[in-house]
Amino acid sequence: MNIHDQSRWNKIKSWMIISLFIILISLLGYVIGMLYGSPVPGFVLAIFGALLYSLLMYFQGDSIILATTGAREVTKKEYPYLFHTVEGLAIAAGVPTPKAYVIEDTALNAFATGRDPKHASITVTTGLLNKMNRQELEGVIAHEMSHIKNFDIRMMMLTAVFVGITILLSDFLLRSFLWGGNRDRDNNQLTIILIIIGIILAILAPLIGEMIKLAVSRRREYLADADGALLTRNPEGLASALEKIKQDPDPLVDKANKATAHLFISTPFRKSEGFVTRLFATHPPLDDRIKLLRSM
């Protein structure tokens, strides 16, 4: 499967994941409604609330992300080479030139966000700008430009939104079972079974949603690496940049959080080991990414 086939297949899988989230949210809404005596209103309210929240995040999500990470828009006069690199690679990718933002942080990192290529931005840390040479910076920007060109920015933002909705509904459902709900419901066998299913769903839904989000993020990082290397025609530039990021003694981006971590080119938290850490990692191992780039 070549990179173009992989991109098309990723889009199909993206819609499959969105459909799965809608089903998950619908089930949670149905169980919440059933708990309060009428499952249909719960189902309708869950879907309606999810749509409203999704629309808000669709149009304002990137602004919220930029604000929470402490990113500020910069001028061409302030960072001329960053601007020229972004403009040149936007032309190569065939997309409108994204806005450029900078985070004042010594960590080496970058991310792209937005709802589509016309409303996109690329953010880099000052640490990355200070440590990367010309080819390495081009590799990083090309990686982020690929996320924009392939509409990864939209999918990653929507996935984070759906995970957030799932967690909110699950938390509400668990609290309803513990403290509220329909106290007059019949104590028959079917009701008991549904309650057990509801509790299991409430516990597992956030975990399932989070793992889907992480799987989407990891898969798209590999594709953006390959596509970015095609843009620059120089896989070694990005491979060398990832090596420097791997060796960064303080990779923590101060204002990064779990909601935005999957957007960065590398995990913005301090390094940790273990099976659970790898299972919930937002990014594939840097060694694997470097090896694949150098095999191109």
**Per-residue confidence (pLDDT) for residue 147, from 0 to 100:** 93
- The number of domains in the chain is 1
**Per-residue confidence (pLDDT) for residue 49, from 0 to 100:** 78
> Contact, 214 vs 281, CB < 8 A?
yes
**Residue 213 sits in which domain range?**
3-294
**Per-residue confidence (pLDDT) for residue 284, from 0 to 100:** 86
Intra-chain end-to-end CA distance of the chain, in Å: 14
Distant-in-sequence, close-in-space partners of 24: CB < 8 Å, separation ≥ 6: 166, 205, 208, 209
Residues annotated as catalytic are 144
Prediction pTM value: 0.81
Task: Please list the rounded mean pLDDT of every run of 10 residues in the chain (296 residues).
Answer: 64 71 78 74 80 81 90 92 95 95 96 92 96 96 94 80 74 68 54 67 69 70 91 95 94 85 86 57 86 92
- Sheet strands side by side (includes 110-114): 72-73, 99-103, 120-125, 110-114
**Per-residue confidence (pLDDT) for residue 131, from 0 to 100:** 96
**Per-residue confidence (pLDDT) for residue 274, from 0 to 100:** 55
**Per-residue confidence (pLDDT) for residue 227, from 0 to 100:** 92
Q: How far apart are CA 236 and CA 233, in angstroms?
A: 9
Give the angle subtended at the CA of 223 by the CAs of 218 and 228, to the nearest 5°: 125
